[in-house]
A and B are shown apart, each in its own frame.
Chain A
Amino acid sequence: MVKDTVTTEKQMVLFELGSEIYGLDIATVHEIIRMQPITRVPKAPFYVEGVINLRGKVIPVIDMGKRFGLEKVATDKNNRIVVVNVADMILGIIVDAVTEVIRIPTDAIEPVSDIITAAKSDYLLGIAKIGDKMVILLEIGKLLSGDSLLANLAAPKTAEKVPAGVK
């Protein structure tokens, strides 16, 4: 029975952006935190708001709204930062609000029709109908992989390599 649950359901975190609802696989979500002051970083991509201090780690924070070309809704106390783990890098995503965590049966997910989506859109896992809402499910890894951001993340870290033979 347990095996069945794993393959036939996805557990998703739902959040609001503009007037749409999106979902992210909970396995990729580290935590959800309140908005906090963001330190701007010069010459970063336009949707990168800056960096924040997450318990001693400095992580970048991006504005999902800007990334999708949506109107940025006025910041209010519902804004949250969804901290995700993508390809071993941790980064935060600013969303308008986080609504719920929900299990979605995989057969309720419909693949997105080719007509609707643009070329590089394998980041769209599909669309699910929950109640009377349409939830757009995202594949976060693919979402950022086309980006120079993640390309930089994948680049080798500046040398802290320890030479062979060191005990």
Chain B
Amino acid sequence: MDLASGITQEDLKLFLQEADEQIELLDEDIVRLEKEAANPDLMQEIFRAAHTLKGSSAMVGHQRMSDLAHAMENVLDALRKNTLAVSPPVVDSLLHGLDVMRLLRDELVNPTAKETDINEAKHELTEAMGTGKGDAADTAGQTEIQIDGEAKDKVAAAMNAGTKVYRIKVTLDQNTSWASVRCFQMLLELSKAGEIIASRPTQQEVEEGKAGFVLQALIAGGSEETFRSALKEISDIVSTVIAEYKAEEKPAAVAKPTEKETTAAAPRDDSKLSQTVRVDVGRLDTLMEQVGELVIYRNQISQIGRLLSDKYREDEAMQNLGDSITQIGKIVSTLQQDVMSIRLLPIEIVFNTLPRMVRDTARKMNRKVDFIMEGQETEVDRSVIEHLRDPLIHLLRNAVDHGVEPPEVRTAAGKPEIGIVRLSAFHQEDNIIIKLTDDGQGISPEKLRQAAVKKNLMSAETAAKLTDAEAINLIFGSGFSTAEKVTEVSGRGVGLDVVKTNIEILSGSVNVESVEGMGTTFTLTLPLTLAIIPALLVATGKTICAVPLSSIVESYKLEAKNIKTVRGREVTMFRSNVLPLLRLDEIFGWNNGEKNHVSYVVVVKFAGTQVGLIVDALLEQQELVVKSLDHFIGGSNGITGASILGDGRVVLILDVASLVRGAVTERRGAQSEILPS
């Protein structure tokens, strides 16, 4: 497509950069709109983004993109002015418009792409304008208190008598199981402060246990201070909005929304943006490398310093040198930490694209889902962060499709119609933990046992011997799906085992806990960075290599007499199970001769299988800075990277995954049971 005349490549690049930002912002914010319709800042942000897109796309000559932005802007304007209410069809039309916007944007980078037609999207947007004219306060089933006959009289009477009437809205923490109790407490306390003219839910509804998480009330008498102190003692209150009620007031959104969000963080803090700097990733990597080297030589100097100090203990100059070396050592350590922290990114980057996906999946599969995210500010090294996206998408799809039941099923089971899916992230020691919880139907250990037997993965006796926890973990086996039919979204039985494998390749782990009928929790544990890994250095003959600590189960001395041979392969007994053995020197072709002396075995695990690596000596544990070895990684190489020791030697880091896989394929003949790890 043709750009406007006078637009250079540079202009185009800038436009694309800005457009991408706006589009991403819109994607996140429009999904939030469904829950936060009363948030004027959010509304403004969205409107501004669409407006900017309209203007800049017109400037570069992309007329269709500008037209579409204009159509979206119209809808957004109506929403902003409260002449249109936020509803699923409206949000759908905006999101579809955004998808088309992306295609239009792509046309600019792909000149041969055929032109996208915007008419369908425009039509949907105009249609959406015609629906649900009402006021914006009518969000997701939450209606304001109706001031009808009797209440109206009371209000009038109170105001005539000079008593002030207040409108109170209290929001409870969605986690609480005591909503009705809290509402009851609130009504009780408030009635001591003034006369409750009307409330939603009503006193009766509260007593019947039908309260939700929001309590609205009209109270005559009292004052803001008395109300607040009345509510002070009650737990689980997230926010309280108190405003004076004025007659003829339109029941629109309360003047000063101070509600704290329990979902994704409130509109971006623009002042923060101005304090960030764009840095080319390459420069960061170079900086990392330099610092890595500094660390290596720091170690060397420390070592030499120690030797010299011992030799020339009396020399004053030597002592000063020793002190300086110690100081330098500390500074270098801090420098390394600081540089590593530059590489950290908030997990928000991955999380923010998820609400849209959850919304779309829920709509498609007819589920009602409340998606809550926590801990978006948790930081992770950039080397790990991109690897999180796919597993999370997989798990979320499962939670919405298989976990949360259809609304009818839920109500029949006495559960609230809207299922809750909660995604949270936090740090724990050297790891980042991501938990995904749903309050859906849970996983049935019995069904999994039966499925395992049916698929010939194990005998009925073995299946019966599995504990419930072990049975539930079967869900990670490949080819495993107890879904009755494959839906478009999930159920092909491929997802979870791929998720587990990919996480384990990153030196992480994934766990599942579930209670049938109540829900399921997946827990992902990942190292904070892949750039530095703790490893055990082992020696075979003259060669030293590194085994990632996260893969090691145990290591111990192995006597030759404990090595048996089964069908030509060496094995040993380890914790009453048969452990296949691999000799590193044989695998890697280092010829080191004699097999008979005492050696050490390092038991490693991957994807549920354990293998023992035979080495000559166990050296030390070290945190190694991983150097990329792109050209040599992958395939059956057995290596995932290299590192440099303090003395300058290069050590290779073993790829435990491929070693174990290799061992398993070799021994397929000898029926090795899958050892739980």
- Report whether B648 and A58 are in contact in the complex, using a CB–CB cutoff of 8 Å: no
- Report whether B639 and A42 are in contact in the complex, using a CB–CB cutoff of 8 Å: yes
- Report whether A167 and B276 are in contact in the complex, using a CB–CB cutoff of 8 Å: yes
- Report whether A43 and B638 are in contact in the complex, using a CB–CB cutoff of 8 Å: yes
- Report whether B24 and A152 are in contact in the complex, using a CB–CB cutoff of 8 Å: no
A121 close to B (CB within 8 Å): no
CA distance A152 to B543 in the complex (A): 26
A108 close to B (CB within 8 Å): no
Which residues in window 28-58 of A have CB below 8 A to B? 37, 39-44, 51-53, 55-58
CA distance A159 to B292 in the complex (A): 20
Q: Which residues of B contact A40 (CB under 8 A)?
A: 543, 588, 590
Q: For residue A55, which residue of chain B has the nearest CB?
A: B293
B159 close to A (CB within 8 Å): no
- Report whether B630 and A153 are in contact in the complex, using a CB–CB cutoff of 8 Å: yes
Which residues in window 344-366 of B have CB below 8 A to A? 345, 349-350
Q: Which residue of A42, A157, A163 contacts B637 across the interface (Cβ within 8 Å)?
A: A42
- Interface residue tally of chain B, by bracket? 35 or more
Please tell me the number of chain A residues within 8 Å of chain B, measured between CB atoms: 31
Given the interface pairs A53-B644, A56-B292, A56-B293, the reply to whether A41 lies near B632 with Cβ below 8 Å is yes
A165 close to B (CB within 8 Å): yes
- Report whether A51 and B650 are in contact in the complex, using a CB–CB cutoff of 8 Å: yes
- Report whether B652 and A43 are in contact in the complex, using a CB–CB cutoff of 8 Å: no
Chain B interface helix/strand/loop/mixed: helix
A74 close to B (CB within 8 Å): no
- Report whether A152 and B349 are in contact in the complex, using a CB–CB cutoff of 8 Å: no
B273 close to A (CB within 8 Å): yes
- Report whether A60 and B631 are in contact in the complex, using a CB–CB cutoff of 8 Å: yes
Q: Which residues of B contact A44 (CB under 8 A)?
A: 632, 637
Given the interface pairs A39-B651, A40-B590, A43-B637, the reply to whether A149 lies near B631 with Cβ below 8 Å is yes
Which residues in window 127-167 of A have CB below 8 A to B? 149, 152-153, 155, 157-167
B414 close to A (CB within 8 Å): no
Which residues in window 1-59 of B have CB below 8 A to A? 20-21, 24
Q: Which residues of B contact A56 (CB under 8 A)?
A: 289-290, 292-293, 296, 627, 644
Q: Which residues of A contact B589 (CB under 8 A)?
A: 42
A89 close to B (CB within 8 Å): yes
Q: Which residues of A contact B627 (CB under 8 A)?
A: 56-58
Given the interface pairs A41-B639, A43-B636, the reply to whether A51 lies near B20 with Cβ below 8 Å is no
Q: Which residues of A contact B114 (CB under 8 A)?
A: none
Given the interface pairs A39-B652, A42-B589, the reply to whether A162 lies near B639 with Cβ below 8 Å is no
CA distance A41 to B543 in the complex (A): 11
Q: Which residue of A39, A53, A158, A164 contacts B630 across the interface (Cβ within 8 Å)?
A: A158
- Report whether B273 and A167 are in contact in the complex, using a CB–CB cutoff of 8 Å: yes
Q: Which residue of A43, A55, A162 contacts B281 across the interface (Cβ within 8 Å)?
A: A162
- Report whether B642 and A160 are in contact in the complex, using a CB–CB cutoff of 8 Å: no
Chain A interface helix/strand/loop/mixed: loop
- Report whether B642 and A39 are in contact in the complex, using a CB–CB cutoff of 8 Å: yes
Question: In the assembled complex, how far is the CB of residue A53 from the closest CB belonging to chain B, in whole angstroms?
Answer: 5
B278 close to A (CB within 8 Å): yes
Write out, one digit per residue, whether chain B residues 189-229 have a CB within 8 A of any chain A CB (1) or not (0).
00000000000000000000000000000000000000000
Q: Which residues of A contact B387 (CB under 8 A)?
A: 159
Q: For residue B292, which residue of chain A has the nearest CB?
A: A56
Q: Which residue of A43, A53, A89, A160 contacts B383 across the interface (Cβ within 8 Å)?
A: A160
Question: In the assembled complex, how far is the CB of residue B520 from the closest CB belonging to chain A, in whole angstroms?
Answer: 28
CA distance A165 to B273 in the complex (A): 12
B259 close to A (CB within 8 Å): no
Question: In the assembled complex, how far is the CB of residue A139 from the closest CB belonging to chain B, in whole angstroms?
Answer: 20
- Report whether A53 and B276 are in contact in the complex, using a CB–CB cutoff of 8 Å: no
CA distance A105 to B649 in the complex (A): 42
Which residues in window 594-631 of B have CB below 8 A to A? 627-631
Given the interface pairs A43-B637, A51-B642, the reply to whether A57 lies near B289 with Cβ below 8 Å is yes
Among the interface residues B24, B589, B631, which one has the most CB atoms of the partner chain A within 10 A?
B631
Question: In the assembled complex, how far is the CB of residue A138 from the closest CB belonging to chain B, in whole angstroms?
Answer: 20
CA distance A44 to B652 in the complex (A): 13
- Report whether B587 and A42 are in contact in the complex, using a CB–CB cutoff of 8 Å: yes
Which residues in window 4-50 of A have CB below 8 A to B? 37, 39-44
Q: Which residues of A contact B117 (CB under 8 A)?
A: none
- Report whether A152 and B345 are in contact in the complex, using a CB–CB cutoff of 8 Å: no
B386 close to A (CB within 8 Å): yes
B397 close to A (CB within 8 Å): no
Given the interface pairs A53-B650, A57-B289, A165-B24, the reply to whether A157 lies near B630 with Cβ below 8 Å is yes
- Other than the given A53-B644, A53-B649, A163-B386, 8 more pairs (CB < 8 A) read A41-B629, A51-B629, A56-B296, A56-B644, A58-B644, A152-B630, A159-B386, A167-B273
Query: Could you list 12 A-B pairs, sorted by A, with CB under 8 Å?
Result: A39-B651, A40-B543, A42-B587, A43-B635, A51-B629, A51-B632, A56-B627, A160-B285, A160-B383, A162-B382, A163-B385, A164-B20
Give residues in B with beta carbon < 8 Å to A. 20-21, 24, 273, 276-278, 281, 285, 289-290, 292-293, 296, 345, 349-350, 382-383, 385-387, 543, 587-590, 627-639, 642, 644, 648-652
Q: Which 9 A-B pairs have the closest CB atoms?
A: A56-B293, A42-B588, A39-B650, A58-B627, A167-B276, A152-B631, A58-B642, A159-B386, A165-B24
Give residues in A with beta carbon < 8 Å to B. 37, 39-44, 51-53, 55-58, 60, 89, 149, 152-153, 155, 157-167
